[in-house]
Amino acid sequence: MFRLRTLRLSDNLLHCDCQLSWLARYLRHSPRLAQYTRCHSPNHLKGQNIADLQDQEFKCSGLAERAINGECISEPQCPHPCRCGDGIVDCREKGLSKVPDHLPEGTTELRLEQNEIVELPTKVFAAHKRLRRIDLSNNKISKIASDAFQGLKALTSLVLYGNKIKDLPSGVFQGLVSLQLLLLNANEISCIRKDTFRDLHSLSLLSLYDNNIQSLANGSFDSLRSIQTLHLARNPFICDCNLKWLAEYLHRNPIETSGARCDTPKRMQRRRIEALKDEKFKCKGQEEFRTRHAGDCVIDNACPSGCTCDGTIVDCSGKGLKEIPRDVPLYTTELLFHDNELGRIKSDGLFGRLPNLIRLDLRRNQITGIEENSFEGASKIYELY
């Protein structure tokens, strides 16, 4: 267009990103053409004369690069039926069953509370690295992929209370180095892996209030260098010798403000953990084995009703029982079941769930049949009576 004498581009909604830098060079080379052509967006360039801008001022990031090999790609609009503005995407109470697939470029806050979301799939937020706050409270979330929050290094607040979360997969909070607020209260979480909070060096408030946590492994909070407030109340804590560390931790760091209390054993019931002396946390009989592996999300069964337990020996003898209890602890090495009324040994996988069993006493019962593969998985048994 070497002979072009007239060009008017004013009053257009020109988006001044890296794909428009050529126009600035062209207008500087032809100063009489398209005078007063101005940027409409992004905000920091709005109203500026395009010819006055330098190449480095025309920037692209993520989906803002709308021209690839000459093909135009539109920036995502506000997802229906949400409202968007000032970096906030507000999708509260919209009946959504999943996180929206696309969000506007530059979204910093995502509000999804009070919806019907049940799952956070793999890398669901990975394309939105500017997110600083995500609120997913009061949904129906029961499953979270281990990399659901991957790449969110700018995230400072994550609100997940009021869901149905039972398990936090290993590494789920990995890389969230800026996170300051994490609300996991009012869920169904039954355990916390020892490395769950490993990268949360900036976290100042953690709420695990109102869950089903029975024990915590020593060192669970070691990475929380900035923690100021911790909520642990309304969890059924087993206050045995393996939880003594928590009392010691709270004595040194009086940050637990919700009044966490013991649930079992009976001698410790309803007592505030932070107010108890270390020597109160004892293990009697089998108690040590029940919570020894809490950091691996293994909380063993209590001693079966009607039986007695001493260390790893479970004694259910002489109780008139017709079946072996289903809740025999995993740590059991000896199971004494003589002098009962057991009529048949079933192939139901019971012994396969007792990997440490070495001695089984079934003498003086009323056994009339033994099903095939009844003892499958019980590879360590060397005494069977």
3-state secondary structure of 310: strand
Q: Tell me the two tokens of residue 306.
A: 């009607």
The DSSP result for 172-231, as a single string, is: TTTT-TT--EEE--SS------TTTTTT-TT--EEE--SS------TTTTTT-TT--EEE
Could you read off the pLDDT of 10-39 as tens digits, one per residue?
888 888 888 888 888 888 888 888 888 998
301-385: CATH, from 3.30.1120.130, 2.40.10.10, 3.80.10.10, 3.30.420.40: 3.80.10.10
Please give the pLDDT value at position 68: 43
Residue with tokens 């916390």: 192
pLDDT in tens, 119-169: 999 999 999 999 999 999 999 999 999 999 999 999 999 999 999 999 999
Low-confidence ranges of the chain (pLDDT < 70): 1-3, 61-76, 285-286
Range(s) for CATH 3.80.10.10 in the chain?
301-385
Q: What is the pTM of this model?
A: 0.72
- The Cα 359–Cα 237 span in angstroms is 31
- Quote the pLDDT of residue 71: 46
Instruction: State the pLDDT at residue 75.
Output: 53
